[in-house]
Amino acid sequence: METMASTLSEELLLCPICLDLFNLPISTPCGHNFCKECIQGYWEIAELPQCPVCKQKLSKGPEFKVNTLLSELATQFKKSSAKKGKRDSGSVDESSSQEDFCSRHHVVDAFKTSQMKDSVSKKLPDLFSKAGDMCAGPVEASINDRLHWINEINQTAGISRENAAREIQDCLQLFQKLFHMVQKGQEDLLEDINSKQMQVELKARGMVVALEQEIDTFVQKRASDHHPFQVLSTSTRACLQPAVYVGAVSRAVTRVAGELEETVGVHVKRLYETEIQRARQYAVDVTLDPDTAHPKLILSENRKQVHHGDVALKLPDNPKRFYPGVSVLGKEGFSSERFYYEVLVKGKTEWDIGVGLENVSRKGGNILNPENGYWALGMRGGQSYWALSSTPVSLPLVKELQRVGIYVDMECGQVSFYNVDVASLIYTFTGYSFSQRLFPYFNPRRNQNGTNSAPLIILPVDV
């Protein structure tokens, strides 16, 4: 057991800076561990409080407490190493036998990655003291599993942190640009108003000067002329028109709104392109379940296409089969956190697609809405699109849908539909809780004398 402890601890209890056993180890917020003197010395030389391993910036003048558990483990290792040295000099055969026993459990290499060294420090209290006389193999395997899980958790948290930072940066840049456009529009409007007012002020000043000069002239004439009113009667009244701003504000706001709409449109399209690409990372392989298909539905041989036939097939009636609703579910149900697939609806005049709970009613008329276990989108009459919520929501789409992406985030209670061809969001159901597995749902609707004969096609997803 000591051999296992020594081979394991020797790799995990070394400071990344001095490469010696930890001495008063401290843990940084990013999960790495260093001797207190080593990390303090590093920060003095680097003049920048950051982690030497992952380069994550830390708060100014960080003060971290000693990791007492890791320090105690390092101390115990030093003591066990000293005892082992004494035994090796007095009883070679015994230590060799124990080493041979432990060497049969090939797990030592699994502990030698630097990421495991960094993350395990918080999870090692009493690791060896609790092992006692238990068999080394199962213990090592359990430790190996947990170290691997710790590593995966840390990596996932790091990726999430990077994603959040990137999203915040993109968001700030976009809103700063939009704010700058609004600010520029306001400045231009104020400049236009002030310019017109200045022109009025200059004109007024000139008129006042001219009138004052005329007054001086009249005063002089009055002193030498006894008939001033004859002069006044021939005077033309001076009149100044105020500046008029009819339409100035509305024109400025309209111009800024147009610029904002254009800019937002470009950025929103780019955001949806990124959003769809991220959703595609959760693409799943969807095939149709013939046991759930209405007797008049025709499934392709590869179970990737379905259309309505005019003649009912002779199929066994079972509780899973839809009737009279011309529907079919996917073969695979999903209970994972996220999944995504795409459906081609091109050439059809009516259809319903989405997801449904495992226990949705298969018999009788089924109304598609979340209350009945369906989250679906539908087309009617070859031109109108609807989100089939409790109260159906009309969707004023500009272009005809062809390729529809369906993304489900079960943890967030979200089902989103995307127009993949133009990279736009069609509709999102939010705020729901899924207590059962969800199955892809398809309803090609009736043939309608051939006008709606095109199939619904499950498409391969390009990741």
Higher pLDDT, 14 or 348: 348
According to the model, what pLDDT value does residue 378 have?
Answer: 97
Burial 387-416 (b: 16+ CB within 10 A, else e): bbbeeeeebebeeebebbbbbbbbeeebbb
Please check whether residues 35 and 75 belong to one and the same domain. yes
Please check whether residues 367 and 397 belong to one and the same domain. yes
In terms of average pLDDT, the best of 44-48, 101-105, 256-260, 324-328 is 324-328
182 found inside a domain: yes
Please check whether residues 184 and 113 belong to one and the same domain. no
Instruction: Identify the CATH number of the domain in which residue 451 sits.
Output: 2.60.120.920
40 found inside a domain: yes
Q: How far is CA 26 from the centre of its chain?
A: 33
Region 287-297: mean pLDDT is 96
Structural domain of residue 186, as residue ranges?
174-280
Helices then strands, each counted (H, E), the chain: 8, 17
Higher pLDDT, 341 or 316: 341
148 found inside a domain: no
Average pLDDT of the chain, as a whole number: 81
In terms of average pLDDT, the best of 13-27, 177-191, 231-245, 433-447 is 433-447
* Nearest CA-CA partner of 28 in 154, 130, 112: 154
Please check whether residues 265 and 361 belong to one and the same domain. no
| pLDDT, tens digit, 9 for 90 and up, residues 75-123 | 777 777 665 555 554 444 444 444 443 333 333 333 333 443 444 444 4
Higher pLDDT, 268 or 125: 268
325 found inside a domain: yes
Q: Are 332 and 437 in contact (CB under 8 A)?
A: no
Specify which residues 328 forms β-bridges with.
Answer: 442
* Nearest CA-CA partner of 309 in 444, 172, 107, 129: 444
Domain end: 232, 256, 280, which one? 280
Please check whether residues 129 and 260 belong to one and the same domain. no
145 found inside a domain: no
Please check whether residues 190 and 94 belong to one and the same domain. no
Q: For the chain, how many structural domains are there in total?
A: 3
Q: Are 360 and 366 in contact (CB under 8 A)?
A: yes
Extract the tokens encoding 434. 């899924």
165 found inside a domain: no
Domain end: 248, 280, 312, which one? 280
The total of other beta-carbon atoms located within 10 Å of residue 74's CB is 23
Instruction: Identify the CATH number of the domain in which residue 116 sits.
Output: 3.30.40.10
Q: Is pLDDT at 286 greater than 80 in this prediction?
A: yes
Burial 226-254 (b: 16+ CB within 10 A, else e): eeeeeeeeeeeeeeeeeeeeeeeeeebee
253 found inside a domain: yes
| Confidence label for 404 from pLDDT (cuts 50, 70 and 90) | very high
Quote the pTM value: 0.57
* Nearest CA-CA partner of 245 in 294, 195, 211, 204: 195
Domain end: 216, 247, 280, which one? 280
Spatial distance between the Cα atoms of 14 and 113, rounded to a whole number of angstroms:
12
Spatial distance between the Cα atoms of 267 and 273, rounded to a whole number of angstroms:
10
Please check whether residues 335 and 405 belong to one and the same domain. yes
Q: What are phi and psi of 123, to 5 degrees?
A: -115, 15
Please check whether residues 369 and 391 belong to one and the same domain. yes
Q: Are 358 and 437 in contact (CB under 8 A)?
A: yes
Please check whether residues 104 and 83 belong to one and the same domain. yes
Please check whether residues 302 and 240 belong to one and the same domain. no
321 found inside a domain: yes
The DSSP annotation for 80-149 comes to: HHHHHHHHHHH-HHHHHHHHHHHHTS--GGGG-SHHHHHHHGGG-TTTTTTTTTS-HHHHHHHHHHHHHH
Please check whether residues 52 and 82 belong to one and the same domain. yes
Extract the tokens encoding 41. 């010395």
| pLDDT, tens digit, 9 for 90 and up, residues 388-400 | 999 999 998 878 8
Please check whether residues 343 and 454 belong to one and the same domain. yes
Region 219-237: mean pLDDT is 65
Q: Would strands 363-364 and 323-324 be described as parallel, antiparallel, or unpaired? A: parallel
According to the model, what pLDDT value does residue 160 have?
Answer: 83
Q: Is pLDDT at 132 greater than 60 in this prediction?
A: no
